[in-house]
């Protein structure tokens, strides 16, 4: 794949290892909405400091969660969403591959999504996208960043760069973009393609004024003459 090779020559191959914490990934994606990475991280660290376990976050008065994540912005909305996700994990149906619950009674139940690592990928994806407010991109982040499973998050940068390079259909719904991205990504290169397309979108192929004259992919890009 020439585009992957060219991106690797410019940005290298990312070395991030799976972190093994799918609930943290879900909470981080909620906190990252409408803010920058720094404010997201401040909010996340304050939440973990004040309420160290996910069970405490789930069961705390809403105002405590809201206050903890205030630096991340729109904390009223995000606190409701975080608790809704944690309660859905506790209360919702679990696939057979999840094994028995840790304890009976949902409010006492230990929160865990460790079973995702062993489940068939389609089942894991379907479970995650049934959680409140969780779409394909968030599910892909959870599967890829937590366990290195085969999925590729398509955010605005990846979809824009992919469409300009002719890899993805411009204007396609996100569900279709994720299917296309998966189909064109060689197994084992999910993280590399996601990260390097994202880097290219942030550094060179900007939304409004892409730097085509300086772009290392210009010779293979059908959109270069448009800018």
Binding site for ligand SF4 (CB under 6 A): 161, 164-165, 204-205, 210-212, 215, 217-218, 221, 223-224, 227
Q: From the CB of 215, what's the least distance to ligand SF4, in Å?
A: 3
- Measured from the CB atom, the residue of 3 and 124 that comes closer to ligand SF4 is 3
- How far apart are alpha carbons 124 and 93 in whole angstroms? 13
Residue with tokens 């090779």: 5
Query: What's the closest the beta carbon of residue 173 comes to ligand SF4, in angstroms?
Result: 22
Give me 73's structure tokens: 């912005």
- Provide the sign of the torsion angle of the four alpha carbons 90, 93, 95, 97, taken in this order: positive
CB 190 to ligand SF4: min, Å: 20
Cα end-to-end distance, the chain, whole Å = 25
> Of all helices (H) and strands (E), which one includes residue 217?
none
Which helix (DSSP H) or strand (DSSP E) does residue 172 occupy? none
Q: Which is nearer to ligand SF4, 11 or 227 (CB)?
A: 227
48/224 with CB nearer ligand SF4: 224
Q: What are phi and psi of 24, to 5 degrees?
A: -60, -40
Q: Residue 139 CB, nearest distance to ligand SF4 (Å)?
A: 27
Rounded to whole angstroms, the Cα distance separating 133 from 63 reads: 20
Q: How far is the CB of 200 from ligand SF4 (least distance, A)?
A: 7
Decide whether 48 or 206 has the Cβ nearer to ligand SF4: 206
Largest pairwise CA distance in the chain? 62
Q: Is 186 exposed, middle or buried (0-12, 13-18, 19+ CB in 10 A)?
A: exposed
Query: C-beta of 130: minimal distance to ligand SF4 in Å?
Result: 35
For ligand SF4, the closer CB: 34 or 170: 170
Identify which of residues 120 and 166 has a Cβ nearer to ligand SF4 in the complex.
166
């Amino acid at each position: 794949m020439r585009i992957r090779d060219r991106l690797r020559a410019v940005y290298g191959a990312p070395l991030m290892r799976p972190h093994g914490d799918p609930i943290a990934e879900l909470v981080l994606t909620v906190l990252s909405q409408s803010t920058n990475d720094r404010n997201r991280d401040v909010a996340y660290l304050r939440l973990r400091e004040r309420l160290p376990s996910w069970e405490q976050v789930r069961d705390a008065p809403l105002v405590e969660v809201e206050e903890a994540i205030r630096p991340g912005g729109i904390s009223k909305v995000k606190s409701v969403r975080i608790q809704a996700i944690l309660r859905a994990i506790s209360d919702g149906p679990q696939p057979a591959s999840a094994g028995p619950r840790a304890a009976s009674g949902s409010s006492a139940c230990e929160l865990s999504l460790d079973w995702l690592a062993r489940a068939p990928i389609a089942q894991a994806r379907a479970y995650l996208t049934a959680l409140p407010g969780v779409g394909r991109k968030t599910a892909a982040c959870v599967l890829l960043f937590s366990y290195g499973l085969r999925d590729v998050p398509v955010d605005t940068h990846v979809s824009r760069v992919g469409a300009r390079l002719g890899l993805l259909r411009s204007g396609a719904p996100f569900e279709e973009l994720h299917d296309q991205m998966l189909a064109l990504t060689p197994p084992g290169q999910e993280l590399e393609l996601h990260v390097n397309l994202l880097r290219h979108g942030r550094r060179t192929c900007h939304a409004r004024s892409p730097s085509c004259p300086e772009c290392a992919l210009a010779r293979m890009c059908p959109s270069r003459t448009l800018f």
